[in-house]
Amino acid sequence: MDWIKKRNSWFVIGVFLLILTTLVIADTRPGNHPFQKDTVITVGVFSDSYWEVQNGYSYRILEDAIEIFEKEHEGVRVEYVSGLLKENYSEWLAEQMVLGKAPDVFLVFGEHFSDFTEIGALKDLESFMEKDTLFSADRFYTSAFQCGQYGGKQYALPYECAPKLMFVNKTILDEEGIALPGEEWTWDDFYGICSKVTKDKDGNGVPDQFGVVGYTWADAFDANGVELFNAQGTECRLTGEAVREAILFMEELEGLHDGYHVTSKDFDLGKVAFQPMLFSEYRAYKPYPLSIKKYSGFEWECIPMPSGSRGDNVAELDTLLLAMNEDTKQPEYAWELMKLLSGDERIQSEVFTYSEGVSVLRDVTESDETLQLLIESSGDNMGLNLRVLSDAVEGAVVSRGFRGREEAEAEVDRAVRDIMEGSSNISMEQIIWNREIDHFLKDHNRR
């Protein structure tokens, strides 16, 4: 029986060795081996601008941040893969996650934030924020900061953002003798102006000057204080008076165009009075060499979005987020780098210089330097009040992200279109569609 005992003890040793090897393998991350001299932090970024504008400053902000970071933390090197385009970035990031090579810190698009959080790819930042006394969430715009939250926890910090503003063709308004609406204008004002400017100027029987282009039901919902889904993304809130009003308002607006399909090209040609735009799009208007020629025909100005009867002058906010890899081996350094990129005024002020977005730090956005910079970059008739911008960011609607929100919104889009085209009772239709979308959400959650 001695040989059995001997064999058993060899087996036990074997079991330990195999389990140990498995644990070591499970813990290894490509590129990070225990014997390397200096610590390397990898960052996932893309080369072009998030705001779809080629500005030639691809990695300027990051490079500056790396310089500061490496000076502050000796022996730590920051690396990034260059040459990724924005359109390929999310796919690249997903592939890196699948292959286990995702960077320590990476940018996350608002639309994919909930997907990555849901599968546990992003690190929960709550503990870092609690431990770090130098970190203050109050310095961020509340709305932008909330964009990085999921299920009540912070998984990402905002990097830059852009609020939606109403772009106004001042020339048309001047021609029609209409005063520029105030900052707290309403749907009534909006509709009034739209109906006044919509007319057939050349008398060919078809209207050739229009009120608005690109105002969607989502804008109307935001303006009327509609929260379309509950926090868990399990229920739709398509019923109710606020939604009904928004749909009715959209019907009225579209009724003005008399079936003519207005495009943003019409706006570019100076034939449309209003177009909602992201702040970044607004900023990109001027610096483009092409746009100078394109828009020289009219003067423009930015004002907040109009408010519905039950809401405020608010709109959505597009935010680019910065998140930490759940599997990072250097969470402390990664957090320092994230803090530098998104919470440091030196870096954040560069957002206005090298990008088209808005800094997520209130102090930076409202500073005199920023005003100076914006005036310089857009010429003398800078039609923007910085307080309007700041308020638009602060008050922006933060739509709670959940998995499958995109698909659910597509469903709502179908529903709103159907209700508007149909002639039956709106409230009834709302209830029917609400039930259908609830079913859709339940199915989606069950998957």
Partner 1 sequence: MEENCNKEIDMGKNQIQEGRVEETRVPGIIFAWMLNLNLLIILYITGIMAAGLWGHVHENTALVFLQQVNAVTIVPWKIPVMAVLLYGSLALLLGIRTEKNASIYGKTCVEIMITIAIGYILNFSYIGMVLLILADVIRRMTKVRWKYAAIGIVCGVYLLMDYNLLTGRFPITPLDTYLLYYRNDVRSIMLGIRNVLSSLNILLFIIYTIQLMRVQMSEKERILILNDKLNQANEELQAANRQMEEYARESIKNAETQERNRLAREIHDTLGHSLTGIITGLDACVTLMDVAPDAVKTQLKDIADVARKGMTDVRRSVKALRPDALEKMELEKALIQMMEETKKTSKVEIEYCCTAELSHYNKDEEEIIYRIVQESITNAIRHGKATKIMIAISMEYNIMYIWIKDNGVGCTHIEKGFGLHHMEERLAMLHGSLNYYGDDGFVLEASIPIRWGEER
Question: Which residues contact partner 1 by CB under 8 A?
Answer: 4, 7-8, 11-12, 14-15, 18-19, 21-22, 25-26, 30, 90-91, 93-95, 97-100, 112, 115-116, 118-121, 326-327, 403, 447
The token duo for 304 is: 């907040």
Instruction: Write down the least CB distance from residue 222 to partner 1, Å.
Output: 25
Instruction: Write down the least CB distance from residue 135 to partner 1, Å.
Output: 26
Show Cβ contacts of residue 90 under 8 Å, excluding neighbours closer than 6 positions. Answer: 109, 112
Instruction: Write down the least CB distance from residue 5 to partner 1, Å.
Output: 9
Instruction: Write down the least CB distance from residue 279 to partner 1, Å.
Output: 27
DSSP state of 42: E
Instruction: Write down the least CB distance from residue 19 to partner 1, Å.
Output: 5
Instruction: Write down the least CB distance from residue 98 to partner 1, Å.
Output: 5
CB distance 107 to 156 below 8 Å: no
Q: In terms of CB distance, is 21 or 381 closer to partner 1?
A: 21
Rounded Cα gap, residues 264 and 214, in angstroms: 7
Q: In terms of CB distance, is 122 or 416 closer to partner 1?
A: 122
Rounded Cα gap, residues 242 and 180, in angstroms: 27
User: Pick from 16, 81, 86: which is nearest to 48 by CA?
Assistant: 86
Q: Report the 10 Å Cβ neighbour count for 112.
A: 17
Phi and psi torsions of 262, nearest 5°: -85, 135
Q: In terms of CB distance, is 85 or 206 closer to partner 1?
A: 85
The token duo for 396 is: 């922006």
DSSP state of 296: T
Q: In terms of CB distance, is 387 or 442 closer to partner 1?
A: 442
Instruction: Write down the least CB distance from residue 29 to partner 1, Å.
Output: 9
Instruction: Write down the least CB distance from residue 95 to partner 1, Å.
Output: 4
Can you tell me whether residue 370 is helix, strand or coil? Answer: helix
Instruction: Write down the least CB distance from residue 86 to partner 1, Å.
Output: 13
CB distance 229 to 405 below 8 Å: yes
Q: In terms of CB distance, is 18 or 431 closer to partner 1?
A: 18
Rounded Cα gap, residues 64 and 136, in angstroms: 22
Which residue(s) pair with 31 in the sheet?
none
Q: In terms of CB distance, is 91 or 241 closer to partner 1?
A: 91
Q: In terms of CB distance, is 343 or 404 closer to partner 1?
A: 404
Show Cβ contacts of residue 101 under 8 Å, excluding neighbours closer than 6 positions. Answer: 29, 30, 31
Q: In terms of CB distance, is 18 or 206 closer to partner 1?
A: 18
Strand-strand pairing, 105-109 and 153-154: unpaired
Strand-strand pairing, 39-44 and 105-109: parallel
Radius of gyration of the chain (CA): 26
The token duo for 438 is: 């609830």
Rounded Cα gap, residues 49 and 354, in angstroms: 9
Sequential DSSP letters for 373-408: HHHHHH-S-----HHHHHHHHHT-B-PPP-TTHHHH
Helices (H), 198-295: 217-223, 241-256, 264-268, 279-285, 289-295
Instruction: Write down the least CB distance from residue 2 to partner 1, Å.
Output: 13
Instruction: Write down the least CB distance from residue 15 to partner 1, Å.
Output: 4
Q: In terms of CB distance, is 30 or 152 closer to partner 1?
A: 30
Q: In terms of CB distance, is 33 or 293 closer to partner 1?
A: 33
Q: In terms of CB distance, is 12 or 431 closer to partner 1?
A: 12
Rounded Cα gap, residues 198 and 204, in angstroms: 14
